[in-house]
Structure 1
Amino acid sequence: MTEKKLLNRSDYKKFYSMTSRWRDNDVYGHINNVTYYSYFDSAVNQYLIENSNLDIQKSDVVGYVVHSNCNYLSPISYPELIDTGIIVIKIGNSSVTYGIGIFKSGETKVSAYGEFVHVFVNRSEKKPVPIPEKILKSLKQILI
């Protein structure tokens, strides 16, 4: 985990909005912890699709999640408009570490934050490869 806690909206460079779903809630009346990881995954992939022209079904190189973590600070419940903020914390040869923040719409403090690590692999061989230039260029746009 990065030493810098990414707690404020101003810590993030790109945002994606979505509405929580009824099924996201658990018996305790708030969004279940595992659901946050799907929010992380959705935001990162939307960024890659929009900014790198990643074709998740046909690209020769794809990102596999090898690590993720999440810290929960305040609950969110259905129905809620959620903003997911993303940045890039670190770029390696074949890997990238994203910082992700989950916000209630309009809030400046995160409800949850964490990291999400992709290793880029050749789709057919499933072996790590250097990050393709088009993807690398888009990742650098949100690097802190």
Structure 2
Amino acid sequence: MSQPRHLRGDYLHFQPITTRWHDNDVYGHVNNVVYYGYFDSTVNAYLIERGGLDIHDGDVVGFVVSSACDYFASIAFPDRIEVGLRVGKLGNSSVQYELAVFKAGEEEACAAGRFVHVFVDRASNRPVPIPESLRQALAALVVQVPG
């Protein structure tokens, strides 16, 4: 079964990231678990900068409830990468992010992943509607992908 192609033009926001020496594993490439850190950093930077998420004192926080990643080509330190971000589904209290890792300047992704945040009240850990400032920022990234 062939994997779908993930192209740079399919993503609406990009976060540049510099790989670090300790991202490499003993096989000489970035370890699979590190990609999740790239995804988390990309999403949270976007939510803080564009949606006004207050990670320290805000009433609402996002909990990751599902995640996955597919790998197509390796990256390694000192590669410069860009993580593409889009929103595949925007619900009342949840959002599914779709992300892809690109080497700087390349059109095809080295990896593509997805994860779901459920927004909850910080005090009770119960789901709440996505606050309007975050919803607007996320709505700007919603795409309809054929298939």
Q: Tell me the TM-score normalised to structure 2 length.
A: 0.93
- Please give the alpha-carbon distance, in whole angstroms, between the structure 1 residues aligned to 2:123 and 2:75: 39
Give the 3-state SS of the residue equivalent to 1:34 in structure 2: helix
Match for residue 96 of structure 1?
A: 95
> For the aligned residues, what is the CA RMSD?
1.1
Residues 1:9 and 2:8 are matched in the alignment: yes
Work out the percentage of aligned pairs sharing the same amino acid.
52
Paired position in structure 1 for 2:133: 134
How many Å separate the matches in 1 of 2:5 and 2:40?
Answer: 18
Normalised to the residue count of structure 1, the TM-score between the two structures is 0.95
Equivalent residues, number: 141
Matched AA of 1:47: Y
- The alpha carbon displacement at 1:60 in A equals 0.3
1:130–1:6 CA distance, 2 compared to 1 (3 A): farther
CA distance in 1, matches of 2:136, 2:51: 8
| Correspondence for 2:22 | 23
Rounded Cα–Cα distance in structure 2 between residues aligned with 1:5 and 1:113? 10
Match of 1:61 in 2: 60
> Structure 1 unaligned runs (5+)?
none
Aligned to 2:124, the other structure's residue is in SS state coil
Q: CA deviation at 1:27?
A: 0.2
Q: Which residue of 2 aligns with 1:32?
A: 31
Q: Deviations over 1:93-123 (max 9, x none)?
A: 1100010000000000000001011000000
Q: Is residue 14–residue 84 contact of structure 2 (8 Å, CA) maintained in 1?
A: yes
